[in-house]
Amino acid sequence: MKLAVVEGDGIGKEVIPAAIEVLDSLGLDVEKIPVELGYGKWERTGSAITDEDIDTLKECDCVFFGAVTTPPDPNYKSVLLTIRKELDMYANIRPIRPLPSVKGIHERNDFNFIIVRENTEGLYSGIEEIGTDISTTKRVVTRKGSKRIADYACKLAKSRMNKLTIVHKSNVMKSDKLFLDVSRQSAIDTGVLHRDELVDSFAYNLITSPWNYDVIVTTNLFGDILSDMSGALVGGLGLLPSANIGEKYAFFEPVHGSAPDIAGNNRANPVAAILSLKMLLEWHGDLAEAAIVEEAIDVALNMGICTPDLGGKHTTSEVGNTIAKYIRTKM
Ligand code: ATP
Ligand code: MG
């Protein structure tokens, strides 16, 4: 596998090396191509991402990404938006699974669900008219966009509990009727058990009874909000991985940002990045390796090897090192 590795800025420079140590411990045949992107590069060269960088990303099988800082400078071109657009990554996948020894908001930890968020249209279409007295944003739902995300979610559901929840607000926004109809049809065609819920009552149900869900498919804005909210269920930003998937490209990154407040101290939690690596391995078909990475994370946390955000006293590199060491004993 040819892997583009982007550390980026801030704690990206700490969590990615820890995750790469874990990758190396697996002994897979991986060619790593380092790509410098982000604010640091912008300060140094005047551009955060170049056309050549995009070509390099496209030449790789997939991208493993840390985090980039986005300054409030109008001349700064957002790295993530550029990549998402260039690589046409339509599906944003966020699995929410509690980890041992980490408390979320519930006593029960027998839940494990995945939010599949449409990543290219909906209320983030970017079609806007801004005025002094009236400003509008156009909510775009297409049959093609809905079908590809619903098909993805159904395929995922089939590999799990075969349970899909379609989240929408079609009673108020008629554009969601198309999303709902297409999603239902996709579930029927693929034989996936499905139900639908209105987003408002769904938000209540998800946070109070997360154990009732398996795969959730929804439109862009709802997915954005629901997945950040779900972070509360597992106890922190340092634990949430994500994948961005397109027809041709795939991109894996922790949900958290560059956290400038703690950067440079070797205290960022690398688990979100290492779980993103696990998703990358699954996507690539290295299922046994993905399973051992997950097991190794559980072992380290159970041993109390964790960073200060989880109440531990270990460094980023110590956590990565412990996980990599455990894997080496198993390979
Ligand atoms: P950015 O603009 O790059 O998103 P941010 O200031 O919003 O940066 P985030 O990375 O989104 O920072 O994180 C928000 C808060 O959560 C930070 O203050 C940080 O301390 C904490 N945090 C985020 N990720 C981690 C992590 N991996 N380990 C420990 N704490 C983290
Ligand atoms: Mg942030």
Site of tokens 């995945």: 114
pTM (whole model) above 0.95 = no
Q: Which amino acid is at 78?
A: S
Closest CA to 306 of 101, 61, 123: 101
Under the banding of pLDDT at 50, 70 and 90, the label for residue 147 is very high
Under the banding of pLDDT at 50, 70 and 90, the label for residue 134 is very high
Kindly state the average pLDDT of the residues 233-244: 92
Give the chain's domains with CATH numbers: 1-89+237-331 (3.40.718.10), 103-234 (3.40.718.10)
| Residue 12 in contact with ligand 1 by CB distance below 6 A | no
Closest CA to 41 of 1, 82, 2: 82
pLDDT, one tens digit per residue, over 258-289 is 999 999 999 999 999 999 999 999 999 999 99
| Residue 262 in contact with ligand 1 by CB distance below 6 A | yes
Spacing, Cα 72 to ligand 2 middle (Å): 13
Spacing, Cα 256 to ligand 1 middle (Å): 6
Spacing, Cα 174 to ligand 2 middle (Å): 32
Closest CA to 116 of 213, 185, 204, 27: 213
Q: Across the chain, what does the average pLDDT equal?
A: 95
Best of 42, 234, 255, 262 for a ligand 1 pocket test (most atoms within 8 Å of beta carbon): 262
Residue 262 and residue 254 in contact, taking contact as beta carbons nearer than 8 Å: no
| Residue 276 in contact with ligand 1 by CB distance below 6 A | no
Under the banding of pLDDT at 50, 70 and 90, the label for residue 77 is confident
Winning range, highest mean pLDDT, from 82-91, 93-102, 304-313: 304-313
Measured CA to CA, the distance from residue 137 to residue 295 in angstroms comes to 45
